[in-house]
Amino acid sequence: MMMARKLVLLSAVTLGGLMGMSPMAQARHRDGAAGPADTRAQDLLSRMTLQDKLSMVFTIDGGGTMGNAPVPPGGLGSAAYLRTPAGLPPLQISDAGLGLRNPSHVRPRGQAVGLPSGLATASTWDPDMARQGGAMIGSEAWRQGFNVLLAGGADLTRDPRGGRNFEYAGEDPLLTGRMVGATIAGIQSQHVISTLKHFAMNDLETSRMTMSADIDNAAMRESDLLGFEIAMETGHPGSVMCSYNRVNDIYACENPYLLTKVLKQDWKYPGFVMSDWGATHSSARSALAGLDQESSGDDADARPYFREILARDVKEGRVPASRVDDMARRIIRSMYDVGLVDHPPVMQPLDVVTDTLASQHDEEEGAVLLKNRANLLPLDPNARIAVIGGHADVGVISGGGSSQVDPIGAPPIGVVKGPGKKDWPGDPVYFPSSPFRMMQAEAPSAHLTYDPGTNITRAVEAARKADVAVVFATQFTYEGMDAANAMTLDDNQDALIAAVARANPRTVVVMETGDPVLMPWLDNVGAVMEAWFPGSGGGTAIARLLFGRVAPSGHLPMTFPASTAQLAHPDIAGVTATNVFEMQFHTDQELVYDEGSEVGYRWFDRTHARPLFPFGYGLTYTTFSNDGLRVRHHGHDVIATFTVRNTGTRAGVDVPQIYVGLPDGGGRRLAGWQRVTLAPGESREVSVRLEPRMLAHFDVKHNRWDVPSGHYRVWLGSSATDDSDQVTVHLGGWTMAP
Ligand code: GLC
């Protein structure tokens, strides 16, 4: 039985009933009281022995991950496996957030459909789209026998060179929380537990295993932790994965402030905390700090902490048996709550056509049009078009590491074999959705040629003969290593683009990148589209966007800097690795986030630096105006109302955004937005409820959100630097629970 993937639009919470409670408290209001899952878990726990409970708090390698470990009896070949007691279904645990992983190609039929990167989904600013994508990968996991998906990456992209930014949702806590929370809700709608990861401050990769992210607690609550908090109340993840790094010098997986004080006391999180693979560094200290399950402990950690040592800790009184009860109960409670017990997976073929369409639609909404001089796009379907570079003749690139999907329709190593890298993460995998082939299908009357772009002279010749040149640029980013410090394209791609643009000013650049990159050729090209990692339907999506079958509607979830000098940390933390794993275990450093909660556009707001493209920015094939802003408040509910108008000649989608500035003059913060689809000439009045925590500072001393009394600036615009309209409103001030 497959859960219907229709979207049940959540009924708006009545403003009256729960008004005045913090959104988390509201969520708790619904979840704080013990529900049926808690009751069932408590009942089962009462019939379990201590040994039963101890057998639940560690998982073993599911096969294919650490050094190609064998698939254990009962396992399927994945990140981890838990043989459970007391009649519970085993936990079949797989990566990850962009689709079902097949580590080391361990499952012969392990190919799956890959979503575009998390940044593409975030660029849609469309929680329903995120939910649909989550439901798609959740259903694929379920159909291949899995009931835990290690998804829900919600670390903020504090640095635009972060190696795993492609798995996350950008620099803003509200956008991140709502989009990742929707993905988690989609996954769990398929009776598969989703994680929320990597908790917390795992914003960089190269030195993730040992670095300490040092940040003031109030600033952390207002930025990275707020993203996790909103994702948690939006998606209700069955599990949270604590991260490798240290936070203020204490490893995240044995950090009482993060795991107990914030997560389980303030946020009243009812689920369980699992470690990242190799992120457990102790037994009693971790258990007492709030870790509930050691992941793949048999080979990822230095010692068998929860598999063996914890039993001695309990026997010798270092860990009370009640803590082990709590650990096991949390795991069991999430199993009941997400439906693993009542709806176990039924192995069956994937619905590849439907799933690929879901991925394609995500990319169509998530690609961001950054430049379109003289309406060069959409392309003339009868034109002579030179397509150049990016392996566009065979597919689209994807990110590397534990989020890697073995794409349907291609040999397991993907369509294009790289230089034969054997160490982590192997060759870049291209999904066999060829933009060039799909452009031919989309415009059969066009005269399309393809040139690989490896010989600039030949590429220039092709561009010169064409009406339009479309250059595909790729950047491979992956887990465990941050992108180049200089934030530039490699393989001489900048020179290729510049030469093609000189030969033909009607040049379009399609970027398939994991991160923002510098664009030294920007003034000389006609159009630029950021396609991110485009996913299994990416070639089709890009072709439909370029020919205008569908109009782009993406808006940037992170700032594109004009130079690394503009960044809070111009030199990325970490060192140039020769061997990723070797380096990771020997780089012990403190990364002081002295920018605090002023991440991304907030930093640019403070420094008044002018980015290449601002947060929230995105063009389409029509134009819009936003005006008539007015703000009213009823108690603690603050509502912004305004009018959106399509002033162009084509239907299109706009994403007007509401930013607020607090009375103390700090930088603007995103407080709400709305996707609006309008026909040419159509206008609509829109109302957006402002997220109250964006009006507040976090008061560590009193452990509460504090909305100061005073005058607030409210901006309406289509990016973080667009002031289409602005008003000032006076609020009386109030406090909210943490
Ligand atoms: C990795 C990643 C984590 C992943 C896990 C299992 O190191 O950090 O995101 O889910 O291990 O592969």
Segment 43-52 mean pLDDT:
97
Report the separation in Å between the CA atom of 72 and the middle of ligand 1, taken as the mean of its atom positions.
19
pLDDT in tens, 552-584: 999 999 999 999 999 999 987 654 444 444 445
Joined tokens for residue 12? 């708006």
Cβ neighbours of residue 492 closer than 8 Å, sequence gap 6 or more = 456
Q: Alpha helix (H) ranges present in 202-264?
A: 217-222, 224-235, 256
Model pLDDT, residue 33: 61
pLDDT at 397: 96
Among 9, 30, 89, 94, which residue's Cα sits nearest to residue 232?
A: 30
In a mutational test of the pocket of ligand 1, which residue from 155, 276, 293, 404 has the highest number of ligand atoms less than 8 Å from its CB? Answer: 276
Task: Indicate the range of 16-25, 158-167, 518-527 predicted with least confidence.
Answer: 16-25
What lies within 8 Å, CB to CB, of 387 at 6+ separation is 393, 435, 436, 439, 448, 449, 450, 451, 470, 472
Q: Which amino acid residue places its CA nearest to atom 11 of ligand 1?
A: 277
Cβ pair 180, 225 in contact under 8 A? no
Q: Which residue has the tokens 């069956």?
A: 348
- 262-267's contacts with Cβ under 8 Å and 24+ in sequence apart are 262/221, 262/225, 262/738, 263/199, 263/290, 264/290, 266/24, 266/703, 266/737, 266/738, 267/24, 267/28, 267/229, 267/232, 267/738
pLDDT band at 521 (very low <50, low <70, confident <90, very high): very high
pLDDT of res. 297: 75
Residues flanking ligand 1, CB < 6 Å? 65, 79, 95-96, 150, 197, 276-277, 402
The helix-helix angle for 352-366 and 538-546 (nearest 10°) equals 50
Instruction: Band the pLDDT of 420: cuts 50, 70, 90.
Output: low
Question: What is the Cα–Cα distance from 145 to 75, expressed in whole angstroms?
Answer: 10
Residue 360's pLDDT is what? 98
Report how far Cα 262 is from the mean position of its chain's Cα atoms: 22
Over residues 725-736, mean pLDDT: 96
**Mean pLDDT, range 45-63, rounded to an integer:** 96
Ligand 1 atom 7, closest CA: 277
> What percentage of the chain reaches a pLDDT higher than 70?
91
Mean per-residue pLDDT over the chain, rounded: 92
What's the first-to-final CA gap in the chain, in angstroms? 40
Q: Categorize the per-residue pLDDT at 2 as very low, low, confident or very high, splitting at 50, 70 and 90.
A: very low
CB 459 within 8 A of CB 388: yes
Q: How far is the CA of 396 from the centre of ligand 1 (A)?
A: 23
Strands 212-214 and 246-247: parallel
> Which atom from ligand 1 is nearest to the alpha carbon of 195?
10
**Secondary structure of 697-718 in HEC code, one letter for each residue:** EEECCCCEEEECCEEEEEEEEC
What strand order describes the sheet that includes 683-689?
Answer: 624-634, 637-646, 683-689
Token match 């006609």: residue?
526
Over 50: is that where the pLDDT of 163 sits?
yes
What is the average pLDDT across 205-234? 95
- The CA 661 to ligand 1 mean position distance, Å, reads 37
Summarised one tens digit per residue, pLDDT across range 102-146 is 998 899 999 999 999 999 999 999 999 999 999 999 999 999 999
Q: How many CB atoms lie within 10 A of CB 513?
A: 23
For residue 25, give the nearest of 693, 700, 670 by alpha carbon.
Answer: 693
pLDDT of residue 537: 97
pTM to 2 decimal places = 0.94
Q: Residue 414 corresponds to which tokens in the numbers above?
A: 């993907």
Q: Which residues contact 577 (CB under 8 A, 6 or more apart)?
A: 206, 481, 583, 584
- Pairing, β 80-82 against β 91-94: antiparallel
Provide the pLDDT confidence category of residue 724 given band limits of 50, 70 and 90.
confident
Query: Span 397-402, mean pLDDT?
Result: 96
244 with 278: CB under 8 angstroms? yes
Q: What is the pLDDT of residue 695?
A: 98
How would you label 476-498 residue by residue, b for 16+ Cβ within 10 Å and e otherwise?
A: bbbbbbbbbeebebeeebbebbb
pLDDT at 610 over 80: yes
Report whether pLDDT(442) > 80: yes
User: What is the average per-residue pLDDT within 73-99?
Assistant: 96
Ligand 1 atom with the shortest distance to the CA of 202: 8
Displacement of CA 478 from its chain's centroid (Å): 14
pLDDT of residue 577: 45
| Ranges 31-35, 301-305, 459-463, 518-522: which has the least confidence | 31-35
**C-alpha to C-alpha distance for 263 and 265, rounded to whole angstroms:** 6
Q: What is the pLDDT of residue 151?
A: 98
8: pLDDT confidence band, cut at 50, 70 and 90? very low
Question: What tokens does 52 get?
Answer: 């039963």
Confidence of residue 17 (pLDDT cuts 50, 70, 90): very low
Task: Return the minimum-mean-pLDDT range out of 25-39, 464-478, 549-563, 677-691.
Answer: 25-39
Closest CA to 334 of 555, 624, 93: 93
* Top mutation candidate among 91, 205, 479 for ligand 1, by most atoms within 8 Å of CB: 479
Helices (H) and strands (E) in the chain, counts: 20, 31
Order of all β-strands in the sheet with 725-731? 669-673, 657-661, 710-717, 725-731
What local confidence, expressed as pLDDT, does residue 611 receive? 98
Closest residue to atom 4 of ligand 1, CA basis: 402
| Pairing outcome for strands 676-678 and 652-654 | antiparallel
Fill in the amino acid letter for 592: V
Residue nearest atom 8 of ligand 1, based on CA coordinates: 276
Average pLDDT of span 338-349: 97
Interval between CA 276 and ligand 1 midpoint (Å): 6
Burial class of residue 522 in the structure, from the number of CB atoms within 10 Å of its CB (0-12 exposed, 13-18 middle, 19+ buried): middle
Is the pLDDT assigned to residue 31 strictly greater than 60?
no
How far is CA 595 from its chain centroid?
A: 22
**Per-residue pLDDT at 378 exceeds 60:** yes
Task: For CA atoms 497, 500, 502, 506, give the dihedral sign.
Answer: negative
Pairwise CA distance, residues 110 & 77, whole Å = 9
Quick one: pLDDT at residue 21? 39
Mean pLDDT of 547-556: 98
* pLDDT of 7 higher than 80: no
The residues, ordered by sequence, that sit 6+ positions from 108 with a Cβ below 8 Å of its Cβ are none
Tell me: pLDDT of 13 over 50: no
For 554, half-sphere exposure in the C-beta direction (CA atoms, 13 angstrom radius) is 33
Q: Per residue in 380-399, pLDDT tens? A: 999 999 999 999 999 999 99
Angle at which helix 352-366 crosses helix 127-143, to 10 degrees, equals 150
Q: Which residue(s) pair with 716 in the sheet? A: 658, 725
- 549 Cα to the center of ligand 1, angstroms: 38
Point out the ligand 1 atom lying closest to the alpha carbon of residue 95. Answer: 10
Average pLDDT over residues 626-648: 96
Window from 81-95, 183-197, 289-303 with minimum mean pLDDT? 289-303
SS3 214: strand
Query: Residue 338 — left, alpha, or beta (φ > 0 → left; ψ -120 to 50 → alpha)?
Result: alpha
